[in-house]
Chain A
Amino acid sequence: MEVRINGQFTITPMRYSLRRLFLFITALCATICLTLDANAATPAGTIISNKATVSYTIGSNTFTRDSNTDTITVVSSAMVNITKTAVVLDQYGGTQPITGATIRYTLAVTTVGTGTAMNVVITDLLPANTTYTSGTLKLNSAALTDAADADAGDVGGTTTNTVTVKLGNLTSVSPIQTITFDVKIN
């Protein structure tokens, strides 16, 4: 799974495996930790200045002098988190990851912090040895067409073999954005 925000920020793949419970706990911990971090985060608009000072002696005289002052303006402190989960449903009503079984992926996108994450776009490369099940892409339970058109998402339209969903601007008060889609194991 890959997240690009203004083309700057990437999260590497988190694959479905037998250690799902472990991943869930890790994700839960990460969310809690990030939330704690966010509480301490420096708010957007804060100006931080820095200068160095030198002191030295020449003969018996002591001198001190300051450098120029650098200023940093904090732009935004929004952070986008994604939790990806997968459920396997095989054609015999079980949960075995066998050929022909369906994997339903759920991406839950949340934002923490004080700023606004602008133009958030979620991209997720379809796993190898699977085929996307046409017409299964949903955003917050509402179906999206597979084509790259007026709605928020597409599969393979923007990028080959990739799910792309445009979430727009998100803040910490935005509801959780839930993306789901199905693939079939080849």
Chain B
Amino acid sequence: MKRIMGRTAVGILCALFLLPVAARAQQQGSIELKSIAQAEVVETNKKGEKQVKYVDVSKAKVVPGDVVVFTTTYKNVGKQPADKVEIMNPVPEHMLYVDQSANGKGMKIDFSVDKGKSYGSPDTLMVIDALGNKQRATILDYTNIRWTALKPLAPGGKGTVSFKGKLK
């Protein structure tokens, strides 16, 4: 009896010890994500040619009408391949998605018009207009973007995904 109780106690202790570790692993995972935002600045040089420069938003003066490029870098820093890799990014508040701007090598790109509840390719997305009619969604309706990796991400594997938003 004593032995059984002892074993149970050890079991509970082990469980208590392991739980936070498991929880931590759940949060940490093995893919690191880094996001940068850069404002697109069009400058005219001395020859009168237009040049596009990208300036970090912390240093840029962003005004309505400006375009900001959001780039997310992902990397598998773990020792096992990661499957079903999906990167999601909402179209930021006060911004409109810029047509054809979402990019990502080896990624299938889908959009959401319902704040990320469901995603679909641009030709399948529908919205209901003010008169209650179903209409093909336009870029103005996009609320979220999702990149789905076509292959598992091997240890050390990395890449970037990006999109542009225009400030309203």
Contact = CB atoms under 8 A, between A and B. Distances in A.
Contacts of B30: 58, 63
Interface in A63-87: 63-79
A140 to B, nearest CB: 27
Contacts of A49: 92
B72 A67 contact: yes
Nearest to A44: B63
Contacts of A113: 64
Contact of A56 (B31, B57, B90, B92): B31
B126 interface: no
B29 A42 contact: no
Contact of A61 (B26, B37, B168): B26
Contacts, number: 127
B98 interface: no
B80 interface: yes
Interface in B17-31: 25-31
Given A49-B92, A63-B31, A10 B84 contact: no
Dominant SS at the B interface?
Answer: strand
B125 interface: no
B84 A48 contact: no
B33 A70 contact: no
A148 interface: no
A52 B35 contact: yes
B83 A75 contact: no
20 contacts: A10-B44, A38-B64, A52-B33, A52-B88, A52-B161, A53-B89, A54-B33, A55-B85, A55-B88, A56-B31, A58-B30, A58-B78, A58-B80, A67-B33, A72-B62, A73-B62, A75-B62, A77-B63, A77-B64, A115-B63
Given A52-B33, A66-B33, A68-B33, 14 more contacts: A8-B43, A48-B94, A50-B92, A51-B89, A54-B85, A56-B153, A57-B82, A58-B30, A63-B82, A64-B29, A70-B35, A72-B39, A72-B62, A74-B167
Interface of A: 8, 10, 37-38, 40-42, 46, 48-59, 61, 63-79, 113, 115
